[in-house]
């Protein structure tokens, strides 16, 4: 029986005891993830809930394939299902840790969603919190791992939440508990490679810090229309403003702190203005209207998306589109309003002018153009397919309105 330091209470608090969906666990074979996998299996076993261990091979070490195979074998021996994932393709010459982190999160999220899992458990500890603080002291922008959060990658991470139940445990405490059970684990040499900021912080013996208290947060007041435009009060908190920008624009990279602060101050000043940031357009009136910046077309944003029959894809980070019996292409409405029917044009003019150009238009051979904004999100009656606006659920997750596995 593993040392219980409150992680069972965290699992009880966040997970849906009645769910039969698999629990996904990021598993490297290292001590932290081994402790986590065993804890997840102990929690899930009484209800018969499956546990899926996902092992990522970054292909950065000569022995990574062997380590991955050992981790998969270990997970299966413990009673979990297991699947190996690989980061393929060329690796960047600069910014490798950040690129590897994004690739890992994308692989894990896609595999979890494919398996039907809504929650991905990760083995971050109090030691990781301390190391993140030490890295920021050196100028890094790495954030603290949070106990519960949406996946940080988009759109791969849609509908997937991260749960880190070990933030009250140090790495030493975890290894002592595993050793007492006679367990062994893998050690990644990158953890002691001082070329990397994380390894330097680990070697420095960073002072342990307490995790952020798990308290209920007051969400902002907001509304989202059928086109995905967000309306917020002008006195919005900085974190919620940043989330609204990303969600309304369908983008992933948060705005730089100084640019976000300038926008925040302009909103709070009461002036009327129009601005762009992080792919979003902001129109400040009585409320702040935030929508996709149609000017992104010229900079490579709002790119067309082509789908084969039955294929699902995400257009512009805002719309999940599934093709029907015929292939289709999704494009921005900008410059194509003349192709709409009179009824569609009548509905179009009811939308704010800033929202119209970046609305999706669906093109199919031999069929009139249609739009999930103008014609409804389900055009399957004609074999056309389905569309789902992602902005609302993404923003609810970002501001903490979804704080448990069951979010329906």
- pLDDT tens per residue across span 16-41: 989 999 999 999 999 999 999 999 99
CA distance 113 to 120: 9
Mean pLDDT of 359-370: 93
Q: Is the pLDDT of residue 217 over 60?
A: no
Domain range annotation of the chain: 7-214, 223-297, 300-390
Mean pLDDT of 330-347: 95
Confidence of residue 406 (pLDDT cuts 50, 70, 90): confident
Residue 328: per-residue pLDDT:
95
Three state DSSP letters for the chain: CCCCCCHHHHHHHHCCCCCCCCEEEECCCCHHHHHHHHHHHHHHHHHCCCEEEEEEECCCCCCHHHHHHHHHHHHHHHCCEEEEEECCCCCCCCCHHHHHHHHHHHHHHHHHHHHCCCEEECCCCHHHHHHHHHHHHCCCCCCCCCCEEECCCCCCCCCCEEECCCCCCCHHHHHHHHHHCCCCCCCCHHHHCCCCHHHHHHHCCCCCCCCCCCCCCCCCCCEECCCCCEEECCCCCHHHHHHHHHHHHCCCCCCCHHHHHHHHHHHHHCCCEEEEECCEEEEECCCEEEEECHHHHHHCCCCCEEECCCCEEEECCCEEEEECCCCEEEEECCCCHHHCCHHHHHHHCCCCCCCHHHCEEEECCCCCCECHHHHCCECHHHCCEEEEECHHHHHHHHCCCCCCCCCC
Query: CB-based burial of residue 187 (10 Å sphere; 0-12 exposed, 13-18 middle, 19+ buried)?
Result: exposed
pLDDT in tens, 75-98: 999 999 999 999 999 999 898 988
Residue 384: per-residue pLDDT:
73
**Does 155 sit behind a cis peptide bond, omega within 30 degrees of 0 on the bond before it?**
yes
Residue 212: per-residue pLDDT:
62
Mean pLDDT of 34-59: 96
Residue 32 marked ligand-binding: yes
Q: Is the pLDDT of residue 300 over 70?
A: yes
Mean pLDDT of 122-135: 86
Confidence of residue 206 (pLDDT cuts 50, 70, 90): low
Residue 382: per-residue pLDDT:
58
CA distance 168 to 260: 32
Higher-pLDDT residue of 130 and 220 is 130
Residue 219: per-residue pLDDT:
66
Number of Cβ atoms within 10 Å of the Cβ of 299 = 9
Mean pLDDT of 183-194: 74
Torsion angle, CA of 55/59/63/67, rounded to 10 degrees?
0
Residue 1: per-residue pLDDT:
46
pTM of the model: 0.90
Mean pLDDT of 234-241: 94
Mean pLDDT of the chain: 90
Residue 297: per-residue pLDDT:
76
Q: Is the pLDDT of residue 5 over 70?
A: no
Residue 196: per-residue pLDDT:
63
Residue 30 marked ligand-binding: yes
User: Looking at the domain 7-214, which fold is it?
Assistant: Rossmann fold (3.40.50)
Residue 210: per-residue pLDDT:
58
Q: Is the pLDDT of residue 173 over 70?
A: yes
Higher-pLDDT residue of 299 and 38 is 38
Residue 28 marked ligand-binding: yes
């Amino acid at each position: 029986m593993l040392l219980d330091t409150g992680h069972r209470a965290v699992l009880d608090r966040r997970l849906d005891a009645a769910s039969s969906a698999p629990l996904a666990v990021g598993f490297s074979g290292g001590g932290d993830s081994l402790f986590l996998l065993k804890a997840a299996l102990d929690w899930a076993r009484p209800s018969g809930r499956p546990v899926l261990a996902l092992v990522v091979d970054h292909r950065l070490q000569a022995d990574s394939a062997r380590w991955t195979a050992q981790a998969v074998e270990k997970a299966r021996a413990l009673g979990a299902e297991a699947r190996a994932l690989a980061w393929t393709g060329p690796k960047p010459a600069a910014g490798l840790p950040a690129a590897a982190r994004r690739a890992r999160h994308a692989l894990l999220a896609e595999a979890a969603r494919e398996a039907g899992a809504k929650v991905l458990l990760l083995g971050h500890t109090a030691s990781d919190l301390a190391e993140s603080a030490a890295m920021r002291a050196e100028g890094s922008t790495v954030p603290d791992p949070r106990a519960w959060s949406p996946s940080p990658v988009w759109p791969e991470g849609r509908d997937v939440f991260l749960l880190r139940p070990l933030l009250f445990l140090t790495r030493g405490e975890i290894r002592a508990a595993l050793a007492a059970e006679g367990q062994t684990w893998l050690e990644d040499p990158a953890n002691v490679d001082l070329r990397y900021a994380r390894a330097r912080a680990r070697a420095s013996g960073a002072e342990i810090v307490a995790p952020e208290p798990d308290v209920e947060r007051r969400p902002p007041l907001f509304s989202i229309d059928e086109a995905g435009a967000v309306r917020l009060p002008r006195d919005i908190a900085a974190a919620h403003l940043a989330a609204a920008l990303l969600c309304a624009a369908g983008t992933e990279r948060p705005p730089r702190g100084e640019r976000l602060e300038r926008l925040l101050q302009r909103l709070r000043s009461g002036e009327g203005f129009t601005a762009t940031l992080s792919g979003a357009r902001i129109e400040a009136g009585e409320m702040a209207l935030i929508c996709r910046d149609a000017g992104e077309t010229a900079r490579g944003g709002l790119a067309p998306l082509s789908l084969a029959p039955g294929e699902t894809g995400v257009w512009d980070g805002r719309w999940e589109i599934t093709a029907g019996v015929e292939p289709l292409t999704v494009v921005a409405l900008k410059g194509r309003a003349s192709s709409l029917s009179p009824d569609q044009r009548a509905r179009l003019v009811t939308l704010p002018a800033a929202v119209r150009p970046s609305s999706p238009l669906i093109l199919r051979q031999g069929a009139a153009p249609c739009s999930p904004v103008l014609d409804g999100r389900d055009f399957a009656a004609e074999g056309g397919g389905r569309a789902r606006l992602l902005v609302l659920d993404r923003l609810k997750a970002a501001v903490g309105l979804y704080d448990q596995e069951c979010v329906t």
